[in-house]
Amino acid sequence: MLPCKLTPERAAQKAASSVPVVFAMGGDPVQAGLIKSFNTPGGNMTGVVIFTNYAETKRLSLLHEVAPTGLLGALVNPEFPPSAGQMRDLREAAPKLGRQLIIATASDDAGLDAALASLLREHVVAAQIASDPFFDSRRERIIAFAAQNRLPVVYQFREYVIDGGLLSYGPNLPDAYRQVGVYAARILKGAKPSDLPIWQANKFDLVLNLKTAKALGLEISPSLLLRADEVIE
């Protein structure tokens, strides 16, 4: 009989029974049952959380700046645990910007194709890809769709923009993973994981691809350019 596969969370818990564990994750470690609380993790685990889904409203406001008129679209994975909050935040934010928003959902490849096609049928002028690991794994596919259909899209991570996406706003991953190394070093020097509070990523970067903007026929405002942490030309 083949051994049962462990989820990353359960594998970490199993490892923590014998060795200290420093994790980096996008979900809530309390809800996942890994720790007792952010301030006092307890047990033999601590680490870094990267709550990029909390920035959905900020990304929508950036999309509003890039495409100030017309219907906006968003793509959300309903199987992603934070999706209910993502959809709620987006639906609440759109009217405050004076915009209408349509949300399409997808959690697999067939659904992704259908969801993207549905946004085109609704004639959205720009779209937002909500933070989600599945969408990240289909990054090239989504970017190619946006380029083929001349659709301005905002993403969560810089990697999308490096690969040809228009703009992104999200946590600086090297900064977050550096903190993992800091915690690991402190533990090696004798610190207990239970005494190291969970560190939340707090450095967020706005990245723009001017080459993509030009291909889409977009004029990026000087204000947005000045606020960008990185501009790809």
Which range marks the domain in which residue 178 is found? 16-49+172-202
pTM of the full structure = 0.85
Give whole-number Cα distances, 96 to 36, 99, 165, in Å.
37, 7, 26
3-class secondary-structure state, position 36: coil
Task: Work out the number of other CB atoms within 10 angstroms of the CB of residue 104.
Answer: 20
Q: Do 60 and 42 belong to one domain?
A: no
Q: Do 27 and 60 belong to one domain?
A: no
- For residue 229, is it within any domain? no
- For residue 59, is it within any domain? yes
Which residues are bridge partners to 208 per DSSP?
Answer: 167, 231
Q: pLDDT at position 11, please?
A: 67
Q: pLDDT at position 7, please?
A: 56
Helix intervals (H) in 17-148: 56-66, 83-96, 109-121, 133-137, 139-148
**pLDDT > 90 fraction of the chain, expressed in percent and rounded:** 77
Query: How confident is the model over 136-184, as pLDDT tens digits?
Result: 999 999 999 999 999 999 999 999 999 999 999 999 888 999 999 999 9
Task: Work out the number of other CB atoms within 10 angstroms of the CB of residue 214.
Answer: 12
Q: Do 105 and 120 belong to one domain?
A: yes
Number of domains making up the chain? 2
Decide which of 200 and 6 is more confident.
200
Q: Do 122 and 197 belong to one domain?
A: no
Domain boundary among 102, 122, 156: 156
CB-CB contact of 155 with 132 (8 Å): no
Which residues are bridge partners to 129 per DSSP?
Answer: 75
Q: Do 58 and 40 belong to one domain?
A: no
Decide which of 17 and 114 is more confident.
114
CATH number of the domain at 106, please.
3.40.50.2300
Q: Do 151 and 180 belong to one domain?
A: no
- For residue 87, is it within any domain? yes
Query: How confident is the model over 183-233, as pLDDT tens digits?
Result: 999 999 999 999 999 999 888 999 999 999 999 999 999 999 999 999 999
Name the token pair of 109. Answer: 């490849």
Which run of H or of E encompasses 171?
A: strand 167-171
- Give whichever of 11-20, 28-37, 183-192 has the largest mean pLDDT: 183-192
Task: Work out the number of other CB atoms within 10 angstroms of the CB of residue 124.
Answer: 23
How would residue 40 be classed by pLDDT, with cut points 50, 70 and 90?
very high
d(CA 181, CA 173): 13
Mean pLDDT of the chain: 91
- pLDDT exceeds 50 at position 4: no
Q: Do 22 and 64 belong to one domain?
A: no
Domain boundary among 98, 124, 156: 156
Phi, psi of 207 (to 5 degrees): -120, 135
Query: How confident is the model over 42-71, as pLDDT tens digits?
Result: 889 999 998 877 899 999 999 999 999 999
Q: Which residues are within 8 A (CB) of 19 and not within 5 positions of it... i.e. 6 or more apart?
A: 44
Q: Do 78 and 148 belong to one domain?
A: yes
